[in-house]
Amino acid sequence: MALSETERRIINKYQRGIPYEPRPFKAIADALGLTENFVLNTLADLRERRILSRVGPVISPNTVGASTLAAMSVPAGKLDAVAAQVSARPEVNHNYEREHQLNLWFVLAAADRDAVLAVIDDIEKEAGLDVVELPLEEAYHIDLGFRV
């Protein structure tokens, strides 16, 4: 993963806190001596190159709307197709394969609990498989930031 020094500066300075203001990318640009368009284009390029998967806030579960962790037992031959169906839902943040009977796990968020349940119902109907909810029992903060 080849990063320019400027890309490293942007990631290292702001992966744990984008300024909370109307034009956060302008504030980032100003602090680094860059232009807002340069910062926006750089972040878009990093995402396109799959170096960054997303730029946005991390909100604690169930503080705005409702969310849940869920899992499915998907036959191996259908895993890629079902994962693509699940990922296509705008309410799904991410999904991943696990080595377990419940081999496809995902996190989804919606406006409220009823909307979460409706999404689960839709996924079950579309995939023809049951979804198991794994509700949050205790929250932990894991800092996933690291210097690049």
* Stretch (H or E) spanning 92: strand 92-97
Greater model confidence, 36 or 143: 36
Q: How far apart are CA 45 and CA 39, in angstroms?
A: 10
Q: How far apart are CA 16 and CA 105, in angstroms?
A: 25
Could you read off the pLDDT of 106-122 as tens digits, one per residue?
Answer: 999 999 999 999 999 99
Instruction: Name the burial class of residue 119, with classes exposed (0-12), middle (13-18) and buried (19+) by CB atoms within 10 angstroms of its CB.
Output: buried
Q: Label residue 56 by pLDDT band (50, 70, 90).
A: confident
Residue 15 CB coordination number (10 Å): 15
Could you read off the pLDDT of 37-46 as tens digits, one per residue?
Answer: 999 999 999 9
Q: How far apart are CA 82 and CA 42, in angstroms?
A: 32
Q: Residue 18: its pLDDT value, please?
A: 86
Q: Residue 42: its pLDDT value, please?
A: 97
Q: Residue 101: its pLDDT value, please?
A: 96
Distance of CA 70 to CAs 18, 84, 88, 128, 140, Å? 29, 15, 15, 15, 18
